[in-house]
Amino acid sequence: MKRAIFPGSFDPITLGHYDIIKRGISLFDELVIAIGVNTDKKYMFSLEDRMKFVSEAFKDESKVSVVSYEGLTVDFAKEKDAQFILRGLRNPADFEFEKAIAHTNRRLSDIETVFLLTSSGKSYISSSIVRDVIKNGGDYSLLVPDSVKA
């Protein structure tokens, strides 16, 4: 069984995340959406809200599960018996950042990182942009799945 984790803060989940997850479903037998908890980070949405947004967005996908975790992603991957980490790339800067993490993870464990390019038309969307739009009262509905709009 090919199991992957897709780690992130998902604060909130965006259409970019949604795109990567939908495409990842076809590549893996199981996809664990791993919502990281970092006590040093200030989140706009609570962990419960973030988990609800993602769970609701994929409620009809039997291959998707949503969990939270703390600590190293590779340790969590081992705990979940995942052979892959799925990551999305929006631009060259993402690649350079993610490449360094992937190399480090590979040194720490046997896990492979699989990169998917975000689909055309979604590469500009990031959680930080969505949060900024929300904070400033803008219409963020075109940037997130329906589960976040509610």
Enumerate the active-site residues. Answer: 17, 41, 90, 127
Do the Cβ atoms of 15 and 144 come closer than 8 Å?
yes
CA-wise closest residue to 38 among 61, 3, 69? 69
DSSP 8-state symbol, 27: T
3 state DSSP class of 130? helix
Question: Hey, what are 130's tokens?
Answer: 């969505």
Do the Cβ atoms of 81 and 112 come closer than 8 Å?
no
